[in-house]
Amino acid sequence: MSLLEAKGIKKIYKTRNGGVPVEALKHVDLTVEKGEFVAIMGESGSGKTTLLNILAALDRPTEGTVVLDGMDLGAVKNAAVARFRRDNLGYVFQEFNLLDTFSLGDNICLPLVLAGKKPKEMKKRLDALAQPLGIADLLKKYPFEVSGGQKQRAAVARALITQPRIILADEPTGALDSRSSDELLALFGQVNRAGQTILMVTHSTRAASRASRVLFLRDGTVIHQIRRDGRTDQEMYQRISDALTLLANGGDRK
């Protein structure tokens, strides 16, 4: 059974004063298997972030269902959604959203602090993450003392520390230079290989080429997908580029 399964997702934004409704998602079907690294690509306004928000239960679809690990998100009561997110989801954003007055270590532990975990437990989990993420030396530093890439790694650590079933990343490389982007993607690859399921929204071909599967979104529907099927990153990059060129030229392959 799939870890995440979205069926017939439709999202219509209505403006308050009776303006024209905007159909952000027309009809999206999507499944993510356990241990997969899925990238969703699309241009600005294609509905990527809307889809991600719905999958994260941050927003509710107008129509359709989302089932995560057998749980129907639509059936989860509002009061229980937070609990659900805490136990199942980790987030990485384009902006790192770290607290300025906290050291990186403290920022990473913040979710555990709120969960009321013991300091000892926090330290254990932090140490386990810091080494592989390459931020062991940075834990005492403050966000303004480190680079964007380092901040983003801390943000990834913050998402991972609660041991979520799935990591949702919204343009994680959007604010990074190319080197930092590569490092971050390498990191994503690394945690993915360790069994972590990742769903990433991006419009960077380079970022998407690390994924095991790439979905293309346009005008609120999935119009194409590419599976890795044993391809190297380079080959993936090529295929994605080709697909994008084709799509840009008006192709409508499914």
Q: Which residues form the interface with another protein (CB under 8 A)?
A: 15-17, 53, 56, 58-59, 82-91, 93, 95, 97-99, 101-103, 105-106, 109-111, 113-115, 119, 122-123, 126, 158-159, 162
CB of 95 to another protein, least distance (A): 6
Of 198 and 244, which CB lies nearer to another protein in the complex structure?
Answer: 198
Task: Decide whether 201 or 244 has the Cβ nearer to another protein.
Answer: 201
**Partners of 217 in beta bridges:** 222
Q: What is the closest distance, in whole angstroms, from the C-beta atom of residue 162 to another protein in the complex?
A: 7
Structure-token match 């499914």, residue found? 254
Closer residue to another protein in complex, CB, 32/108: 108
CB of 124 to another protein, least distance (A): 10
Task: Name the residue nearer to another protein (CB basis): 1 or 114.
Answer: 114
- 24, 145 contact by CB (below 8 A): no
> Nearest approach, Cβ of 84 to another protein (angstroms)?
7
C-alpha to C-alpha distance for 96 and 150, rounded to whole angstroms: 10
- Output the smallest distance, CB 88 to another protein, in A: 8
Nearer to another protein, 158 or 239 (CB): 158
154 or 247: whose CB is closer to another protein? 154
CB of 166 to another protein, least distance (A): 12
Q: Which is nearer to another protein, 82 or 186 (CB)?
A: 82
What is the bridge-based pairing of β-strands 37-41 and 213-218? parallel
Tell me which residue has tokens 């580029």: 241
Q: Are 126 and 137 in contact (CB under 8 A)?
A: no
Phi-psi region of 39 (alpha: psi -120 to 50; beta: other; left: phi over 0): beta
Q: How far is the CB of 159 from another protein (least distance, A)?
A: 7
Q: Using CA atoms, how far apart are residues 140 and 143, in angstroms rounded to an integer?
A: 10
CA 177 remoteness from chain centre: 19
